[in-house]
Structure 1
Amino acid sequence: MSDGRLAAGGRLALTFFTVAPLRADRVDRAVAGTAIRLAPLVGALLGVLLAGVLGGLGAVAPALVAGVVTVAVAALLTRGLHLDGLADTVDALGSYRSGEAALRIMRQPDVGPFGVTALLLVLLLQAASFAALASRPWTALLAALAAGAATGRLAVTWACRRGVPAARPDGLGALVAGTVGPVALVGLSVGVALLAVPAVPGRPWQGPVAVAAALAGTLLLVRHVVRRLGGITGDVLGATVELGSTLFYLGVVLTG
């Protein structure tokens, strides 16, 4: 991989997954594929920022307040794009329509009852999970939020693996579908799993298991979407970010 493509892919990854005002001077499938492979790293960096917010607020405010504010900051840092994708995807799937009819629903600017319900559920679960994490030691809190945000973006990388088609001939889905090979998937998955090891004090296995469970959930979503819509779209990728991160957070706050 050339340095130029890596730099262009890094800028594009930040544009895709954060509010960073960077201009991608080159956008093609090669650069987009690089951006998708860098997505977990961008997620980890975002998680570090969120950990600072949660840890700082958790020291001076009630845990639930800290959790809600951290969720709001996460939405601001991503322009709410992934949440919008989640709402649109759930509305399309909830319509019980398939193919182009479902894609038309995804393109509508309004949010239906299925989408609203999905947004409320995900935001509440994230806020409650953050509240539970706020009281953990700093190392565990940092690992949990960095690995959680990385897992959501790793789910996007898996959704863009070879063999998964795009639902439309244009748009973000067409640009990134099928751009990631198996070697990158394995390497990135192992890296995120290792990042998650310190997330649960005394249980080094629970973080990696949470990563695996989150990926399994998002893979089921992508499989269902491909069957219903014919492939992935940008909205579907946004939905995988939110679902993957939320499932991970739940996985590391559960105790037994």
Structure 2
Amino acid sequence: MADRPRWSDGARLALTTFTVAPVSGPQRLDRAVGGVAMRLGPLVGVLLGLLLGGALALLAAGLPALLAGLLAVGLAALLTRGLHLDGLADTVDAIGSYRSRERALEIMKSPEVGPFGVVTLVLVLGAQAAALAAAADRPLSALSATVAAAVACGRLAVAAGCARGVPAARPGGMGALVAGTVGPVALAVNTLLVAAVAVSAVPQRPWQGPVAVLGGLAVALALRAHLVRRLGGITGDVLGFLSETATTVTLLAAVLFPAASH
């Protein structure tokens, strides 16, 4: 009974962090609640991905595939307030500056987007749109699984960024609230969940979806290690960077080979 408010507040924080769902924020906000939110992030990603997959199917029914993919990417940004895209741009600007750790963290906090960030946003959004266009002719169940697995893998990367032993880069902010709050069991369970969602993503190739998820997670873990060495830990922007990177890699890997005939 004592844990019920923590899980309720954690669910609210997960929804308000990962989506624009019109729910009230948590009444209690601490590291315990933050940890619950990060553990629930992949499940929220599955639900959001199913919604986006259905929207993509509707768009692709009447529009060219690439245009449908671009609109789906825009809808994803709208439904998440562009929060992770902002983290992607800020992190790339900070790392691309080749400045000291302290200066890199200052650049990350700046509201301006530099040239590195702009180019990265164009490339990532373009890659996501192209991958969605390539998947748009799949059966609805496979298309939904593809998008759901990719979006969920992005949130899985956020959970991995908050794994025990990973410090925060600075004492305040979102990173300090959630750093080190996700244990190995929760991370393993979430990985299995997202991989299971991906099994039906690629017609006639049930292995490709889970491999794409593991590939997205592996890239995120490698980048997490580099960013922790470079910055001394994670920040909220780093988590957004990891999310968009894992989502993009998963989408690309899921459409790596031409779709099998069906």
TM-score, normalising length: structure 2: 0.96
**Aligned equivalents of 1:201, 1:151: Cα separation in 2:** 19
Taking the aligned partners of 1:51 and 1:198, their CA distance within structure 2 comes to 13
Does residue 8 (structure 1) correspond to residue 12 (structure 2)? The answer is no
Post-superposition offset of 1:3: 2.1
Q: Return the offset for 1:108.
A: 1.0
Residue type of the alignment partner of 2:66: L
Contact 2:44 2:152 in 1 (8 A): yes
Residue 83 of structure 2 corresponds to 81
Alpha carbons 2:54, 2:140 under 8 Å: kept: no
C-alpha displacement at 1:25, in angstroms? 1.2
Report the secondary structure of 1:33's partner residue. helix
State the alpha-carbon separation in 1 of the partners of residues 66 and 103 from structure 2.
Answer: 40
Q: Once the two structures are superposed, what CA deviation does each residue of 1:218-244 show, in whole Å capped at 9, x if it has no partner?
A: 111111111111000000001111001
Partners of 1:71 and 1:218 lie apart in 2 by: 20
Residue 155 of structure 1: how far off its partner (Å): 0.3
Q: Deviations over 1:126-154 (max 9, x none)?
A: 00011111100111001001111100000
Counterpart for residue 213 of structure 1: 215
Counterpart amino acid of residue 236 in structure 2: G
Aligned counterparts of 1:221 and 1:25: Cα–Cα separation in 2? 33
Distance, in Å, in 1 between the alignment partners of 2:22 and 2:56 is 24
> Match of 1:147?
149
Q: Distance in 1 between matches of 2:196 and 2:160?
A: 17
Instruction: Using the TM superposition, give the Cα deviation of residue 7 of structure 1 relative to its aligned residue in structure 2, in angstroms.
Output: 1.1
Compute the displacement of 1:39 (Å).
Answer: 0.1
| In structure 1, C-alpha distance between the alignment counterparts of 2:83 and 2:63, rounded to whole Å | 28
> What corresponds to 2:34 in structure 1?
32
Contact 2:87 2:237 in 1 (8 A): yes
1 CA distance for matches of 2:21 and 2:143?
A: 24
**CA separation in 2, counterparts of 1:225 and 1:122?**
19
* Equivalent position to 1:176, from 162, 175, 178: 178
Displacement of 1:193 after TM fit?
0.5
Partner of 2:237: 235
RMSD: 1.0
Aligned to 1:19, the other structure's residue is in SS state coil
Q: Which runs of 4+ in 1 moved over 6 A?
A: none
Report 1:76-115 matches (<5 A): 76-115=78-117
Which residue is 1:196 aligned to? Answer: 198
State how far apart, in whole Å, the 2-side matches of 1:14 and 1:47 are.
13
Question: Which structure 2 segments of 5+ residues have no match?
Answer: none
Q: Which amino acid aligns with 1:125?
A: A
Given that 2:34 and 2:178 are in contact with CA atoms closer than 8 Å, whether structure 1 keeps it comes out as yes
Residue identity in the other structure for 1:128: A
Structure 1 residue 98, shift from structure 2 partner:
3.1
Structure 2 match to 1:21? 22
User: What are the ranges of 5 or more consecutive residues in structure 1 without an aligned counterpart?
Assistant: none
DSSP-derived class of the 2:166 partner: coil
Residue 180 of structure 2 is aligned to residue 157 of structure 1: no
Tell me how far 1:24 sits from its aligned partner.
1.7
| Contact 2:124 2:248 (C-alpha < 8 Å) held by counterparts | yes
